[in-house]
Amino acid sequence: MHNEYPPIYTMLARHSGFNSAFLMRGTEGCVTPSLRKRSEFVRYWEQSEDVVVEADPSKIGIEQENRLVPIAHALMPIIDREFGPDENNAEIAKLAAKEGLAAIEGKKVPPVMPCFTVHR
């Protein structure tokens, strides 16, 4: 979200009757905060003012150079095709699940994001 939006969004949330709101800025097209740089979140709870909360991945030991996890070239989506699901979606999902389970088991794996870039 752009810097000017938080006060507008929290005003709309209050006006709509929400007792609380949490606004976050994520990676383009996702709601995942950046794993490369400091992020700011805006929240309010009941009658509080808007509060800016900072999250710095480096302060909790996350050092990430890539914006997204690279997908093996063999699994990359086919870009010259009709609109619709890609034939590799199931394999990409299996890869994400495998790395997610490894992370839960405490193994060091690159963070898996719920979106990816298409290389041409």
Where along the chain do its domains lie? 5-60, 68-120
The whole-number pLDDT of residue 110 equals 59
How many Å apart are CA 15 and CA 61, to the nearest integer? 39
CB neighbour burial string for 82-111, b if at least 16 within 10 angstroms, e if fewer? eeeeeebeeebeebbeebeeeeeeeeeeee
pLDDT tens figures, 10-25: 999 999 999 999 988 7
Q: Taking the model in full, what pTM does it have?
A: 0.50
pLDDT tens figures, 34-82: 778 888 889 999 999 999 988 888 888 887 776 666 677 777 766 666 6
